Amino acid sequence: MKKNIILMGAPGAGKGTLAKQLISLGLIHISTGDMFREAINEGTELGKLANSYIKDGNLVPDDVTIGIVRERLSKDDCKNGFLLDGFPRTLPQAEALEKMSKEISRPIDVVINLDCDEEELVRRISGRRVCKNCGAPYHITNKKPLVEGICDICGGPLIQRKDDNEESLKVRLQHYVQDTKPLLDFYQDKGLLQNFDSLVGMNVLFDEVSVFLKK
Ligand code: ADP
Ligand code: ZN
């Protein structure tokens, strides 16, 4: 089984949804976006700093982001495998990850890239709702909750993320193309990249990725 995994893909490609499904394989889900949103909800200094970037769709500075991932990856629970979702997003982050994964002897086994066309990304993000308590993702037409406005898992209220608006999304997609997409070549060159079509739908995608990871 492949256990140290990076999930890549544009905003809306389905990283978070897939990651939450893959937890059932015993992997620890590390989402920098979730970590920042938690800090924002708690009103910490990190949260205030992160919010000033996230609200407009910009990237949080590398040193801050690398710092929180380093701390998280060094914890004991990551020793049986981790799923990085939303990190790395820049070349300096990828280089820092190389270094730290060597230091803790937990090398990356595979980079899963979710392919999705831009029109679909926009459709997914504009209809996305998330649970305010647990972060579980929903969609107003694709993935409705059992009871409108309420999370199936924890009963929390469903909200729209502040950065899921047209303006911020435009900036996020630009950052994806400029800063993050080049990482596909970086990992292709290392022989780690594995592409999956995210348009098949989240359940089929989950089956395909699980089969692949268990090989
Ligand atoms: P999405 O993939 O839908 O854009 P995420 O939850 O992964 O959502 O990230 C939300 C926001 O958090 C990003 O737009 C960015 O501002 C910030 N962020 C998350 N991960 C990183 C990262 N690795 N580096 C810099 N900023 C990040
Ligand atoms: Zn919930």
Query: What is the pLDDT, as a whole number, of residue 24?
Result: 92
Pocket-testing residue among 89, 164, 175, ligand 1, by greatest number of atoms within 8 A of Cβ: 89
Tokens linked to 193: 């990249």
pLDDT digits (tens, 9 = 90+) for 18-47: 999 999 998 999 999 999 999 999 999 999
Q: What is the mean pLDDT of the chain?
A: 95
Instruction: Give 155's pLDDT tier (boundaries 50, 70, 90).
Output: very high
Instruction: Give 215's pLDDT tier (boundaries 50, 70, 90).
Output: confident
pTM over 0.85: yes
pLDDT digits (tens, 9 = 90+) for 79-135: 889 999 999 999 999 999 999 999 988 999 999 999 999 999 999 999 999 999 988
> What mean pLDDT comes out for the span 200-209?
94
Q: Angle, to 10 degrees, between the axis of helix 32-42 and the axis of helix 45-54?
A: 120
- Residue owning the nearest CA to atom 14 of ligand 1: 57
Contact 134, 178 (CB under 8 A): no
- Closest ligand (CA of 138): 2
Query: What is the pLDDT, as a whole number, of residue 38?
Result: 93
Looking at the predicted structure, is the pLDDT value of residue 176 above 90?
Answer: yes
Query: What is the pLDDT, as a whole number, of residue 80?
Result: 86
pLDDT digits (tens, 9 = 90+) for 55-83: 999 999 999 999 999 999 999 999 889 99
Pocket-testing residue among 69, 93, 168, 172, ligand 1, by greatest number of atoms within 8 A of Cβ: 172
> What mean pLDDT comes out for the span 179-193?
98
